[in-house]
């Protein structure tokens, strides 16, 4: 059940925390884009967030995203691991694909972009903790991969995304991703979720991806 007033109140709280974290870090809150992660929540929840002024959304699965988007006035980031056989749908639907992490996926995206006549913005996902179960390019390969993707996609490659290891201090991982983005002259650093977005803002996040703190708990983990 969607409770629009709860979503509006949660958005207000998250926005206030973003502003406070930005001020504490000596940053302008306007530098930080809140991606509202609506995965597992119904389209009504997205519409409730839009009614409360939210315009940027994140989804993990292409098929689920297609049930809610496109929506006039909404920007969609695809933030989940992407299979090459979903690249065409992703290219058609997304404003930004934030999980580019291997050459085969780049090939599929490029091929789809030529067929569709549109190319979303792209982020390289870095497996910043080099965890075997996580997607993302391994840190040892990141520099070469980012350079190659930059050469291929030019200004459409806008930045980097990461999900740090859980149950340890994420700050050093966030700082490492920000430093990588700096080295490559990339503006976008998508890092920080409901539990750790304030630390991500301290480390220089330009985009934070917040689901639970806006829409409430998910029934099943995705």
Ligand X SMILES: *Cc1c(COP(=O)(O)O)cnc(C)c1O
Residues near ligand X (CB under 6 A): 37, 39, 60, 79-80, 163, 193-195, 209-213
Work out how close the CB of 197 gets to ligand X at its nearest, in angstroms, rounded to a whole number.
8
Work out how close the CB of 62 gets to ligand X at its nearest, in angstroms, rounded to a whole number.
13
Round to the nearest angstrom and report the end-to-end CA distance of the chain. 19
Work out how close the CB of 157 gets to ligand X at its nearest, in angstroms, rounded to a whole number.
18
Helix (H, G, I), strand (E, B) or coil at 172: helix
Which residue has the closest beta carbon to ligand X? Answer: 211
Comparing CB distances to ligand X, the nearer of 60 and 158 is: 60
Comparing CB distances to ligand X, the nearer of 42 and 116 is: 42
Work out how close the CB of 151 gets to ligand X at its nearest, in angstroms, rounded to a whole number.
26
Work out how close the CB of 79 gets to ligand X at its nearest, in angstroms, rounded to a whole number.
4
Comparing CB distances to ligand X, the nearer of 26 and 63 is: 63
> What is the spatial distance between Cα 186 and Cα 200, in angstroms, rounded to a whole number?
17
* Angle (nearest 5°) at CA 78 between 76 and 82: 155
| Beta strands at 157-162 and 75-78: parallel, antiparallel or unpaired | unpaired
Comparing CB distances to ligand X, the nearer of 48 and 144 is: 48
Q: Give the number of other CB atoms < 10 A from CB of residue 219.
A: 8
CB 67 within 8 A of CB 43: yes
Strands (E), the chain: 33-37, 56-59, 75-78, 96-100, 121-127, 137-138, 157-162, 188-190, 207-210
Comparing CB distances to ligand X, the nearer of 80 and 159 is: 80
Question: CA dist 118 to 57, 156, 187, Å?
Answer: 19, 11, 21
Comparing CB distances to ligand X, the nearer of 116 and 165 is: 165
Work out how close the CB of 28 gets to ligand X at its nearest, in angstroms, rounded to a whole number.
23
> What is the spatial distance between Cα 79 and Cα 61, in angstroms, rounded to a whole number?
8
């Amino acid at each position: 059940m969607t409770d629009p007033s709860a979503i509006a109140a949660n958005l207000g709280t998250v926005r206030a925390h973003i502003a406070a974290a930005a001020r504490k870090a000596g940053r302008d809150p306007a530098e930080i884009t809140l991606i509202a992660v609506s995965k597992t929540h119904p389209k009504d929840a997205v519409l409730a967030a839009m009614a409360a002024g939210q315009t940027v959304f994140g989804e993990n699965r292409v098929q689920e995203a297609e049930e809610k988007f496109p929506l006039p006035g909404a920007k969609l980031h695809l933030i989940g691991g992407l299979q090459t056989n979903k690249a065409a749908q992703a290219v058609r639907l997304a404003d930004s694909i934030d999980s580019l992490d291997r050459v085969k996926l780049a090939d599929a995206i490029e091929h789809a972009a030529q067929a569709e006549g549109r190319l979303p913005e792209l982020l390289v996902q870095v497996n910043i903790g080099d965890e075997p179960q996580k997607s993302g390019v391994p840190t040892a390969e990141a520099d070469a991969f980012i350079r190659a993707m930059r050469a291929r996609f030019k200004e459409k490659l806008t930045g980097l995304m990461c999900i740090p290891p859980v149950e340890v201090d994420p700050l050093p991982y966030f700082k490492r991703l920000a430093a990588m983005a700096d080295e490559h002259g990339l503006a976008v650093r998508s890092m920080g979720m409901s539990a750790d977005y304030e630390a991500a803002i301290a480390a220089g996040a330009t985009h934070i991806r917040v689901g639970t703190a806006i829409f409430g708990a998910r029934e099943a983990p995705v």
